[in-house]
Structure 1
Amino acid sequence: MCNNLITPKVASPDMNVICFDLEGPLSPQDNAYEVASLVPNGDAIFETLSRYDDLLALAGRHNYEPGDTLALIVPFLLAHGISEDDITRVSSHARIVGGAKDLIARLLSHGWDVHIISTSYEQHAHRIGAALGVKRDHIACTKFEIEKLREKLTEDDITRIRSLEEAILSTNDEDVMFQKLDDFYFDELKNTALGDVFSQVRVVGGARKVAALEAIAAASSKTPRELIAIGDSITDSAMLGCVRDAGGTAIAFNGNEYAVPYANIGLAGTDIGLVWEFAEAHARGDPIELARTFEHEYRDDPRVDCLVGADADKIEAVIDTHKRFRKIVRGDAAKLG
């Protein structure tokens, strides 16, 4: 079962610990986006909800976390009969990022405690984790009991959801659309049989990723200072910032404008394998020094940037480079926050 609120097994305090985001650093597929695309016009609906998600997260809406798009999309998946088998089938087409499988194998063979902390639905996170050799009890992800939720849906609920769907596709003014979404998710939906979707589907993003990381650290008698965290998007910014601010190693891999400013090392490219060098440096206690050295050696694919003390111009230049590789590696998913 997916560790939605992770209670990891106690690990040896002598083990080094590394925590990966899944979608981006390990697999390029945005599984929820691909699943939503099974619905007619689902890609357009998901992209609107993703922008709405960014707005809510950046505004600091109470009890809302980046990545809760995976909760926002649930009513539409239910209304269109999307099943657990559909999620698994879409996941089966997901690729692994270049170098990821060898990297994980190398880390595990050298005694590293490898974890995945992901917004992904459990059906996808567990499949990718298995392909990489990461055990289920080392994966914190989003529990999604889609068949149980479907049982709650009434015909009136489906009519209401379809009406909102039509509004999303026909409304050009995003301010007007976002107000309709506010009314639906924070008022109307709570009065349906489905109820509060945010309590039904607790997405592991933002502060919930930090909570998972802190639980992993505590189980190893460590603090975030002693961990490596790797992420690429708005759902990872709090986790990266937590580790960076504690003095740990926070790596943005093909990160966007929400992730890069919270990392102390930037790694861009089509292959994630160079993380091994930073893992060894982290174990020695000099990952930032290595980043400063690699910044002169790796300027193409991969490209390394030391982000400690970086000014706004450097951050902007790094983001531009990361976005270019993000598009190469992730395709359409690169445009999502």
Structure 2
Amino acid sequence: MLGKKFFVSDCEGPISVNDNAFELAGHFIEDGEKFFQIISHYDDILVDEIKRPDYNAGNTLKLILPFLKAYGATNLNMREFSSKNVLLIPGARATLGLLQFIMPSYIVSTSYEPYIQALCDLTNFSFNKCYCTRLDLDSHPLSEEEKDKLKEFRFSIISDPEFDNLERIFWEEIPGMEIGSLIKEIKPVGGEAKKEAILDIMGKNNYQACDLMYVGDSITDVEPLQYAKENGGIAVSFNGNEFALDNASIAVISDNTVITSTIADLFNRYDREMVLEFAASFKKNPEKAVKDHPVNPQLAYKLAETNTRLEIITEDNLEELKEDSCKFRKEIRGESIGGLG
């Protein structure tokens, strides 16, 4: 007997073009884009190379918060900035609308809550089906002395982005400051925390892991992609980087989310095997694959108008997919955002 299929997606990458935290840093912090890239690279090292215990992918979003506050960010202006700057992947609004209608659907994102709320307002996706990084900047006081100190730290990080300098600032200096409580309090929903969100969804609704379709694109999606893949679900990398592709079972490289709709619809109406058959056939001949499989006619029509590549990931094609997906990712999201972990 088929179980109740359910769909879970990351937000930034598979649904939207944005990297909201990167954009907030660029908007509020002096030389903020470069600053964010340094912290993001440091975050990747801690997760992927050092594998520091109790440190999750996506913790960049907690590390930059004291600096955002030092440069004038508040709950209100973060919400206003986010609401004005949501940029969707083509097709995303229709995909979210369809998937909410046909199957239980959720967004599990490292993104800050104001951005996810703005995206939900734009797409009519249910905010109560979202897991994201909650924060309250205004509840943490920041003295002028600490504000000046943080600005000095920002300059130090830009001038000397070496690992040891960042270790000193983030784990020796800031924890001794009053604003250090902000870093301690915030729990970004990335990596293992995304997997925990999926387990929470499953526990509350009695879903099974084999009925999960998860879509991700970055290092914050490694654990949920692994979980879906290892438990007989569908693990999709959508314009993913090397971290996502190493842990997914299916690679999508596309300029439109209609392929996400197509895969989810097949999975929901049939099973994992149908999706894998379709993906294998699509690689050989997309038009024939659509004709030979029970693809929704409306989705088939829209899919034909997109630039889409769909493949099952194997040892033989993994390196080529990494090169092509990372290149396409940068074309869709821009060099700066596309190059982030």
TM-score of the aligned structures, taking structure 2 as reference length: 0.88
Structure 2 residue ranges without an equivalent (≥5): 288-305
Letter matched to residue 142 of structure 1? T
Asked if the contact 2:3/2:207 (under 8 Å) is kept, the reply is no
Other-structure match for 2:195:
210
Other-structure match for 1:104:
96
How many equivalent pairs are there? 315
Letter matched to residue 307 of structure 2? D
Other-structure match for 2:41:
51
Distance 2:137 2:331 in 1: 32
Distance 1:164 1:113 in 2: 45
Q: Which of the residues 74, 81, 86 maps onto 1:83?
A: 74
Other-structure match for 2:109:
118
Asked if the contact 1:230/1:240 (under 8 Å) is kept, the reply is yes
Matches within 5 A, 1:108-187: 108-110=100-102, 112-149=103-140, 151=141, 153-171=142-160, 174=161, 177-187=162-172
Distance 1:85 1:280 in 2: 38
CA-to-partner distance for each residue in 1:158-200, whole Å, 9 max, x for gaps?
Answer: 23212211112222xx4xx221111121122111112254422
Other-structure match for 2:65:
74
Percent sequence identity is 28
CA-to-partner distance for each residue in 1:113-158, whole Å, 9 max, x for gaps?
Answer: 1100000000001111232222121000000101112x2x223322
Other-structure match for 2:338:
334
Asked if the contact 1:214/1:223 (under 8 Å) is kept, the reply is no
More helix by share: 2
> 1:303 offset after TM fit, Å?
0.3
> 1:305 offset after TM fit, Å?
0.8
Distance 1:53 1:222 in 2: 32
| Structure 1 residue 190 corresponds to structure 2 residue 175 | yes
Other-structure match for 1:221:
206
| Structure 1 residue 324 corresponds to structure 2 residue 316 | no
Secondary structure at the counterpart of residue 235 of structure 1: helix
Secondary structure at the counterpart of residue 58 of structure 2: coil
CA-to-partner distance for each residue in 1:61-96, whole Å, 9 max, x for gaps?
Answer: 122111111011111101111122332233222211
Structure 1 residue ranges without an equivalent (≥5): 1-12
Asked if the contact 1:34/1:90 (under 8 Å) is kept, the reply is no
Moved more, 294-303 or 255-264: 294-303
> 1:298 offset after TM fit, Å?
4.0
Asked if the contact 2:133/2:187 (under 8 Å) is kept, the reply is yes
| Structure 1 residue 42 corresponds to structure 2 residue 32 | yes
Q: Which of the residues 307, 310, 315 maps onto 1:304?
A: 310
Distance 2:118 2:286 in 1: 33
Other-structure match for 1:268:
253
Q: Which of the residues 266, 286, 293 maps onto 2:281?
A: 293
Other-structure match for 2:294:
none
Distance 1:180 1:334 in 2: 26
Secondary structure at the counterpart of residue 219 of structure 2: coil
Distance 2:99 2:258 in 1: 11
Asked if the contact 1:217/1:227 (under 8 Å) is kept, the reply is no
Letter matched to residue 323 of structure 1? C
| Structure 1 residue 235 corresponds to structure 2 residue 227 | no
Other-structure match for 2:290:
none
Asked if the contact 1:294/1:304 (under 8 Å) is kept, the reply is yes
Asked if the contact 1:252/1:259 (under 8 Å) is kept, the reply is yes
User: Which of structure 1's runs of 4+ aligned residues deviate more than 6 A?
Assistant: none
Provide the alpha-carbon RMSD of the alignment: 1.7
Secondary structure at the counterpart of residue 61 of structure 1: coil
Secondary structure at the counterpart of residue 37 of structure 1: helix
Asked if the contact 1:228/1:248 (under 8 Å) is kept, the reply is yes
Distance 2:51 2:130 in 1: 27
Distance 1:156 1:63 in 2: 31
Secondary structure at the counterpart of residue 132 of structure 2: strand
Other-structure match for 1:7:
none
CA-to-partner distance for each residue in 1:18-52, whole Å, 9 max, x for gaps?
Answer: 00100001110100101100222011110100100
Asked if the contact 2:4/2:211 (under 8 Å) is kept, the reply is no
TM-score of the aligned structures, taking structure 1 as reference length: 0.89
Asked if the contact 1:225/1:243 (under 8 Å) is kept, the reply is yes
